Amino acid sequence: MDRFRYQNGELYCEDVPAAQIAARAGTPVYVYSAATLRHHYRAIAEAFAPLNPLLCFAVKSLDNTHILRLLAEAGSGFDVVSGGEIARALRAGTDPAKIVYSGVAKTDREIREAVSVGIKMFNVESEAEFENLSRLGGEAGRPVRASLRINPDVYDPRTHVKTATGRKESKFGVDIDRAEVFFQTYGRDANVALDALDLHIGSPIYSAEPYVRAIDRTLALIESLRAKGFAIRTLDLGGGFAADYEEGRSPLAADYAGQIVPMLKDSGLEIILEPGRQIACNAGVLLTRVQYVKQGGSKKFLIVDAAMTDLIRPALYDSEHFVWPAKLPAGAEPPPRRISHAAEGGVPVDVVGGVCESSDFLAKGRTLPPMERGDLLTVFSAGAYGFVMSSQYNSRPRAAEVLVEGDAWRVIRRRETYDDLFAAECDV
């Protein structure tokens, strides 16, 4: 699952005690394990090897340039959704021919930049966007390739309503029933080669079954398009593979591949995958210190120095992260990573931050070992959609990010300062 383990009662990331990082880098701090990132990347690459896919890590899930460089060195391409993400991927040294660009609101500037660096493919999300891409591609006089993002109207009922995307009534992509007309209208465009399809049915998807249904519908569409003379060369399956927020809860890459590979092995299609969460989620934790312990009516609060500004997933999606002290009480066993796991003799607490919003919490109703001011708490499985969604709301400087490799660690994004709060303001 990952390389965060308790040894002699203390949490380690690979071979480094978490307490050492917190003492030197301060808190709150995101800590990433390089070995875990590589492990999950390789697990997907190996499971899908019979399809020889291009893995395009979803930059939105964890966008630190050092992490992107590590993944690029492992062979990854990148799925991006903005000009800024393209800039990051290029800064990380990636080959532009391994970048695919999704997103419903690509601006002229972003499209021009992407065309000029020669990305692999635009994942087009509407008729209006295709027309604009064609206009700008014509102006640039360079080859432009596009895939049509379709909504196969498939979803996983366990995916949170705010992260389900593959349905008809979605702002993303176009309804699969409109795809043939789309190709008839734009499939022979002079400026843009439209010869691919892509989909992203949501995130996280907790079984292979929704992919199977989506691929089934998509293969039927491809056959029909081919019969009408539209050669479809590439199929991008998007992201969405689940990650273990609790131990053993999610399928492994091999479980998804077991059902997906046989469906596509003889399709003659180039396959692209855009995993984010399954690579990044368990590769990162958020370390935070208890500031105060407080009783509020019948409730007990652990007030910590991280907040929704550092990790917004609980407030935004009702997400549940396993939390536990970085140092175990004397003689205590390492806990199983189960949200419901209760420490013997503990009382339920809500873990909250210092932001002036009632929705500012990191965990609710958890029975943790007794904790005091100054103790270090670990929020597990925070690598994906963690730091990337952080903000400076309440003028809180963002946390630092640290990367661990074996017994070495380094700060890969320094903690922000008050000066960073004013940096983009004019004349202050």
Ligand X SMILES: Cc1ncc(COP(=O)(O)O)c(C=O)c1O
Q: What residues are annotated to the active site? A: 356
- Applying CB under 6 A, among 77, 152, 240, 314 the residue interacting with ligand X is 240
CA 254 – CA 349 distance, rounded (Å): 37
Tell me which residues in 62-91 interact with ligand X (CB under 6 A).
Answer: 79
Strand 10-13 versus strand 234-236 pairing type: unpaired
CB-count burial class (<10 Å; 0-12, 13-18, 19+) for 280: buried
Task: Give the nearer residue to ligand X in terms of CB position, either 324 or 385.
Answer: 385
Q: Which stretch binds ligand X (CB under 6 A): 125-133, 244-252, 269-277, 293-301?
A: 269-277
Residues paired with 323 in a beta bridge: 379
Do residues 187 and 172 make contact, with C-beta atoms less than 8 angstroms apart?
no
Cis peptide, bond prior to residue 28, ω within 30 of zero: yes
| Closest distance of CB 110 from ligand X, Å | 15
Do residues 166 and 125 make contact, with C-beta atoms less than 8 angstroms apart?
no
| Closest distance of CB 201 from ligand X, Å | 10
Q: How many residues bind ligand X (CB under 6 A)?
A: 16
Q: Which stretch binds ligand X (CB under 6 A): 28-36, 41-49, 85-93, 270-278?
A: 270-278
Structure letter (DSSP) for residue 206: -
Asked if 203 touches ligand X (CB under 6 A), the answer is: yes
Task: Give the nearer residue to ligand X in terms of CB position, either 76 or 102.
Answer: 102
- Applying CB under 6 A, among 145, 200, 321, 413 the residue interacting with ligand X is 200
Asked if 204 touches ligand X (CB under 6 A), the answer is: yes
| Residue 69 in tokens | 């460089």
CB-count burial class (<10 Å; 0-12, 13-18, 19+) for 267: middle
Q: Which stretch binds ligand X (CB under 6 A): 43-51, 239-247, 325-333, 340-348?
A: 239-247
| Residue 15 in tokens | 């071979």
Q: Tokens 């809180």, residue? A: 396
| Closest distance of CB 350 from ligand X, Å | 27
118: closest CA among 91, 148, 97, 134?
97
| Closest distance of CB 398 from ligand X, Å | 21
| Closest distance of CB 51 from ligand X, Å | 17
Ranges of H-type helices in 245-402: 253-264, 277-280, 313-317
Task: Give the nearer residue to ligand X in terms of CB position, either 102 or 218.
Answer: 102
Q: Which stretch binds ligand X (CB under 6 A): 11-19, 20-28, 199-207, 390-398?
A: 199-207
Task: Give the nearer residue to ligand X in terms of CB position, either 302 or 384.
Answer: 384
- Applying CB under 6 A, among 32, 130, 183, 241 the residue interacting with ligand X is 241
Structure letter (DSSP) for residue 187: T
Q: Tokens 């700008």, residue? A: 136
CA dihedral for 52, 58, 62, 64, sign (positive or negative): positive
Tell me which residues in 5-64 interact with ligand X (CB under 6 A).
Answer: 58, 61
Task: Give the nearer residue to ligand X in terms of CB position, either 285 or 343.
Answer: 285
- Applying CB under 6 A, among 239, 251, 284, 386 the residue interacting with ligand X is 239
Tell me which residues in 273-312 interact with ligand X (CB under 6 A).
Answer: 274-277
Asked if 145 touches ligand X (CB under 6 A), the answer is: no
The single-letter code of the amino acid at 300 is K
| Closest distance of CB 386 from ligand X, Å | 12
Q: Which stretch binds ligand X (CB under 6 A): 26-34, 90-98, 129-137, 268-276?
A: 268-276
- Applying CB under 6 A, among 83, 166, 238, 325 the residue interacting with ligand X is 238
Q: How many residues does this entry show for the chain? A: 428
Q: Where are any strands of DSSP class E within 297-338?
A: 299-304, 323-325
DSSP line for 241-282: B---SSTT-S--HHHHHHHHHHHHTTS--EEEE---HHHHGG
Task: Give the nearer residue to ligand X in terms of CB position, either 314 or 383.
Answer: 383
Task: Give the nearer residue to ligand X in terms of CB position, either 204 or 325.
Answer: 204
Tell me which residues in 384-423 interact with ligand X (CB under 6 A).
Answer: 384
Do residues 130 and 186 make contact, with C-beta atoms less than 8 angstroms apart?
yes
Do residues 145 and 192 make contact, with C-beta atoms less than 8 angstroms apart?
yes
CB-count burial class (<10 Å; 0-12, 13-18, 19+) for 214: buried
Q: Which stretch binds ligand X (CB under 6 A): 65-73, 139-147, 237-245, 352-360?
A: 237-245
* Interface with ligand X (CB under 6 A): 58, 61, 79, 102, 200, 203-204, 238-241, 274-277, 384
